Amino acid sequence: MPLLEPKRRALLRWTTGYCRADFSADLLAGATTAVLLVPQAMAYAMLAGLPPIAGLYASLAPPLIYAVLGTSRRLAVGPVALDSLLTAAALAPLANGDLATYAAAAAALAILAGTFQAVTGALRLGFVVNVLSLPVLRGFTAAAAILIIASQLGPLLGLKLPTSAGMGPLLVALAGQLRAVHLPTLALGLGAVVVLVALGKFRGKALLLVVLATLAGHLLDLDTRGLALLGPVPSGLPLPTWPAIDRELLLGLAPAAALIALISFMEAFSSGLAVARRGEVVEPDQELLALGFSNIAAGLVRGYPIAGGLSRTAVNAQAGARSPLAGVVTAALVALTLALFAPLLATLPRAVLSAIIVVAVARLVDVAFVRQLRRTRPRELVPLAITFGTTLALGVGLGLAFGVGASLLLFVLRTTRPHTAVLGRLPGTQVYRNVLRFPDAETVPGVVIVRLDAPLYFANATYLIDEIRRQISAQGARAVVIDAGGVHDIDVSALANLRDFLGELRQCGVELYIADLKGPVRDILARSGFTRELGPDRFSFTAHEAIQRASAAPSSPPDPRATQAWP
């Protein structure tokens, strides 16, 4: 099998080479994933503030659309915890209003988010996947998981707590209602959590729990004991319809839709990559199109924003899925559930759905990643911590914005203070390495070799030139060699700084040589006239060649017109 698949047609690309054995595997995988999806979809809809049936609606059309347009063979699209939380946060102002308006707004949010994704994919802007660094995404996901768990304390304790006002108001409200905790609800919720944890990796544990809890609700009349049940659940399949909301509300949802579009794409794309096998390519632009039209379809059938969840995608892959047809099988089983079994769910206790949510999202708090980051890149703990803290304190929208800002600030600081190294020659070779890392590297008397490991631009040029000045002064050098192997670009501001620095060196009688210059940078220096000013003989292909020229050249006397000594 080749390392990369050749690019094929955009539609149904997985059908090439499809065989009967693949179909059998997809049937089994689709059924296995449906066992997990049905209870999760209802639970996540409740997390979004919607009737549980909305989660099943959102599980119908997206897998069908994705099977036509998607590029991942195993991605399982449908309701996910993070999108559900973002939906709840976006629709919080409508939480106390008409439920029909709230549901219509959720459907419109899916259509808007899908439109953003589809347009972005059509414009081939899939590189937006790089906007969120991994530490920011992990910090945001961990904080969101804690917020999701906190939002389920009300149903688990039998209390009415705010679910979208942030951790502070929720904890204050909880402290004031602790004496009102409904013990039977608490016992059922904790028992459900224990059962889900005890069953471990058994894939049907959530569905099994739903069936048993529904039977218990019916046989034991749990509603008469004060436990909240789902209540009547409509049966039948939804007909496509445009959500009935006014233009002002639609425009007000646009910022939240853009955020959901980005987050759901990140989640789906990373999940698709995680289960891709050798030779399979997940194309970001095509994934944006596929996910965008899937979200639009979810909104048209009275669902809400969807994505590709990592946990269900992993189950789908482990169950042997070989194509998106497995998702079509999953959608068919969800449709069967809606047609035949939906009314039977009326006696399902809400605390059980909350327990399913808590157990599902607890794994999103990735402590192992924090430990790894502390060992490998401690400075990147800063954006992770900022994202985590601000998301908990200020909510998902502002938390993510602060995290992205912190990540970009760290990037700017890193590029304005880039790495430099003084080089020395390894004995018996023509290889030059950092003298701090290779103690046996030999420096050349009177010549300092400085390697620059960053592009030269307006924000770091002054810093880098100051570093060269410092090394010249410390070693009393009569010549300086700049190893420019790491300089792949130079802007006009840095070029002006370099030209001024050349004049300064000549006033002080210090010769300048440049080695290993990249072609594009060499072209810029030539077009600007700097090559002519410095002299073509001052440019070398290697540091060793530049050192030989610097050592053989006679010393230049300082310019008598210089007004100051070398710093």
pLDDT at 161: 80
Q: Report which of 140, 421, 86 is spatially closest to residue 258, judged by C-alpha positions.
A: 86
Residues 472, 478: Cα–Cα separation, whole Å: 8
pLDDT at 558: 57
List, run by run, the mean pLDDT of 10-residue segments along the chain (567 residues). 44 80 91 90 92 95 95 93 90 80 95 96 83 83 88 89 71 87 94 92 84 92 89 89 91 93 89 80 90 97 92 86 93 94 90 90 88 91 91 82 84 87 93 93 92 92 94 91 94 94 93 94 94 93 92 63 46
Instruction: Give me Rg for the CA atoms of the chain.
Output: 31
pLDDT at 400: 79
What is the β-pairing status of strands 479-483 and 432-434? unpaired
Q: How far is CA 492 from CA 316, 453, 465, 495, 527, in A?
A: 53, 19, 15, 5, 12
The residue behind tokens 């993070």 is 82
Burial class (CB in 10 A: 0-12, 13-18, 19+), 406: buried
pLDDT at 8: 47
Question: Is the separation of the CB atoms in 150 and 167 below 8 Å?
Answer: yes
Whether the CA torsion 289, 290, 296, 299 is positive or negative: it is negative
Question: Is the separation of the CB atoms in 497 and 461 below 8 Å?
Answer: yes
3-class secondary structure per residue, 207-220: HHHHHHHHHHHHHC
Q: Report which of 464, 553, 558, 549 is spatially closest to residue 515, judged by C-alpha positions.
A: 549
pTM exceeds 0.95 for this model: no
Decide: helix, strand or coil at residue 488: coil
The residue behind tokens 């596929």 is 290
pLDDT at 437: 93
For 378, list phi and psi in degrees, rounded to 5: -55, -35
> Please, what's the b/e burial string for 151-182 (b: 16 or more CB within 10 A of its CB; e: otherwise)?
bbbbbbbbbebbbbbbbeebeebbeeeeeeeb
Q: Report which of 60, 34, 35, 55 is spatially closest to residue 43, judged by C-alpha positions.
A: 55
| Residue 315, C-beta contacts closer than 8 angstroms, at least 6 positions apart | 32, 33, 36, 76, 203
| Residue 466, C-beta contacts closer than 8 angstroms, at least 6 positions apart | none
